[in-house]
């Protein structure tokens, strides 16, 4: 009876490793910044998704509702000088902001990862060209270039997709340099040398050996690029360089400033989109810092 009680099959359940969801929850409990950022972002996503299912999108555009109404049961966020329901405008504007962030951030990250792998893994003249281009373009003020490009376009030609493309023009340099540095260290590791001796092709080494190890870095780079894209779209719109008819959060603030909302007592008009932008950027910043801790083994917290 004693031997049966101590057999490996009986002791196995007590030594079973926790599942992945349990480990993720434990890590989020330790990394409170990442957990808070994810919760805020999920709340904003729920607000946008539920809002898109319940509002009339036409109310987010001018001449749709009564003008200059303070927050009430009928208009939870009030209305503005142009006859837009600010609740509907916030829902549509947050969706548009997310679209710009994900398109620009995703394209910038993909281009950066591809160029970083090409430069670091294959080296030689490709590395020299990509590194030189990045070193030349990096010191250039990105804000200045984006303002010049957006200001030179006809306002009728500026769309949400146009803003995303303007933002992504110089968004690939950061991920390129980060991924290049990581690949340079990875390709000198023992497991890469073993894979080469085993006859694995270059693409096999890249996709099966190196790329999985860099997924935390790529995720952190993606979140950082989304943050930069959202911020760029915000300040371009605040400067009046975005698609003025669209209810982007920056456009709402620009319109409130141009009509002197605070001086006329329409306090809800600029405050609500400002709070929303703070929540968006704050959540992305917290997630970025949390992913940076996850990707960096020197500062990673252990179980």
What digits encode the pLDDT tens for the residues 188-241? 788 888 888 888 887 888 888 888 888 888 888 888 889 988 988 888 888 888
Give me the count of residues in the chain. Answer: 303
> How many percent of the chain have pLDDT more than 90?
28
Q: Which domains occur in the chain, in start order?
A: 30-295 (1.10.3720.10)
Burial pattern 189-201, b for ≥16 Cβ within 10 A else e, equals: eeebeebeeeeee
- C-beta atoms surrounding 239 within 10 Å: 15
48 in Cβ contact with 91 (< 8 Å): yes
DSSP state of 122: I
CA dihedral 196, 201, 202, 206 (to 10 degrees): -90
pLDDT band at residue 303 under the 50/70/90 scheme:
very low
Helix axis angle, 268-295 to 86-117, nearest 10° = 30
pLDDT at residue 194 in the model: 84
pLDDT at residue 296 in the model: 64
Q: Which segments of the chain does DSSP mark as H helices, in order?
A: 2-5, 8-11, 20-30, 32-54, 86-117, 124-137, 142-152, 160-168, 173-186, 190-197, 202-204, 215-238, 249-258, 268-295
Q: pLDDT (tens digit, 9 = 90+) per residue, 77-103?
A: 999 999 999 999 999 999 998 899 899
pLDDT band at residue 140 under the 50/70/90 scheme:
confident
Please give the average per-residue pLDDT across 254-270, as a whole number: 90
pLDDT at residue 272 in the model: 92
pLDDT at residue 88 in the model: 94
* CA–CA gap between residue 204 and residue 179 (Å, rounded): 18
């Amino acid at each position: 009876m004693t031997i049966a009680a101590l057999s490996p099959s009986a002791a196995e359940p007590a030594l079973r490793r926790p599942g992945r969801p349990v480990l993720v929850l434990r890590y989020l409990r330790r990394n409170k910044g990442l957990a808070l950022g994810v919760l805020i972002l999920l709340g904003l996503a729920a607000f946008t998704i539920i809002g898109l299912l319940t509002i009339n999108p036409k109310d987010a555009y001018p001449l749709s509702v009564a003008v200059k109404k303070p927050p009430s049961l009928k208009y939870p966020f009030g209305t503005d000088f142009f006859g837009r329901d600010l609740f509907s405008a916030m829902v549509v504007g947050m969706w548009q902001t997310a679209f710009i962030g994900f398109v620009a951030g995703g394209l910038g990250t993909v281009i950066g990862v591809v160029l970083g792998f090409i430069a670091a893994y294959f080296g030689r003249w490709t590395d020299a060209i990509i590194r030189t281009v990045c070193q030349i373009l990096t010191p250039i003020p990105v804000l200045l270039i984006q303002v010049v490009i957006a200001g030179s376009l006809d306002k009728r030609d500026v769309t949400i997709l146009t803003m995303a493309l303007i933002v992504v023009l110089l968004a690939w340099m950061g991920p390129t340099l980060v991924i290049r540095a990581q690949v340079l260290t990875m390709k000198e590791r023992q497991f890469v040398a073993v894979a080469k001796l085993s006859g694995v092709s270059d693409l096999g080494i890249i996709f099966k050996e190196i790329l999985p190890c860099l997924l935390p870095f790529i995720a952190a780079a993606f979140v950082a690029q989304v943050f930069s894209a959202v911020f760029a779209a915000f300040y371009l719109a605040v400067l009046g360089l975005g698609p003025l008819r669209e209810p982007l959060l920056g456009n709402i603030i620009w319109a409130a400033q141009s009509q002197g909302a605070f001086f006329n007592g329409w306090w809800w008009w600029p405050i609500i989109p400002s709070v929303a932008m703070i929540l968006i950027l704050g959540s992305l910043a917290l997630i970025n810092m949390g992913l940076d801790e996850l990707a960096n083994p020197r500062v990673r917290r252990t179980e």
